[in-house]
Copies of this chain bind each other. A is one copy, B any other.
Amino acid sequence: MISKKAKYAIHALVKLARDREKGPILISEISKEGHIPQKFLEAILLDLKRAGILNSKKGKGGGYYLIKKPEEVNMADVLRLFDGALALLPCVTYKYYERCEECTDELTCGIRRVMQQVRDETVRILKDSTLATVLASEKSTYKEQ
């Protein structure tokens, strides 16, 4: 399961992508529409700003807006930003790699191989799915489930 933080982040991003023609969007609006606690959301948006995905404008008429193209923001990056590694085991990540004490030989470890597969597929799907594809898929109501 992903954290609420990550989930809120994705929902906020999708909204910002959807409304990106409208100029800066108020935190309070995102918060209300998405039922996301406002103060919590503030911290999340700041993180996304630091990550170079959003920017904000202060003062009257201010708010947050997307600075990356929707097709450039993929789910893998967002999830990693908030929840760290996507893999199920530390020994199949590169950024958070850690050897497993329990396993004698990593090269032949059967458990690791399975988890490696899961990670590869997960990353593939999440990389392919961007704000653009998510928005597009919202529009087509009848979908191959």
Contacts and interface: CB of A to CB of B under 8 A. Distances in A.
A52 interface: no
Interface string A103-145: 1000111110110011001100110010001111111010100
24 contacts: A1-B87, A1-B88, A1-B89, A2-B89, A7-B100, A8-B102, A11-B102, A11-B111, A14-B111, A34-B101, A35-B101, A35-B102, A36-B102, A110-B134, A110-B135, A110-B137, A113-B137, A114-B126, A114-B129, A114-B134, A118-B121, A118-B122, A118-B125, A121-B125
Closest 6 CB pairs of A and B: A110-B134, A110-B137, A35-B101, A114-B129, A11-B102, A110-B138
Nearest to A4: B102
Interface string A1-40: 1100001101100100000000000000000001110000
Interface of A: 1-2, 7-8, 10-11, 14, 34-36, 75, 79, 84-85, 87-90, 100-103, 107-111, 113-114, 117-118, 121-122, 125-126, 129, 133-139, 141, 143
B34 A102 contact: yes
Q: Chain A at the B interface: mostly helix, strand, loop or mixed?
A: helix
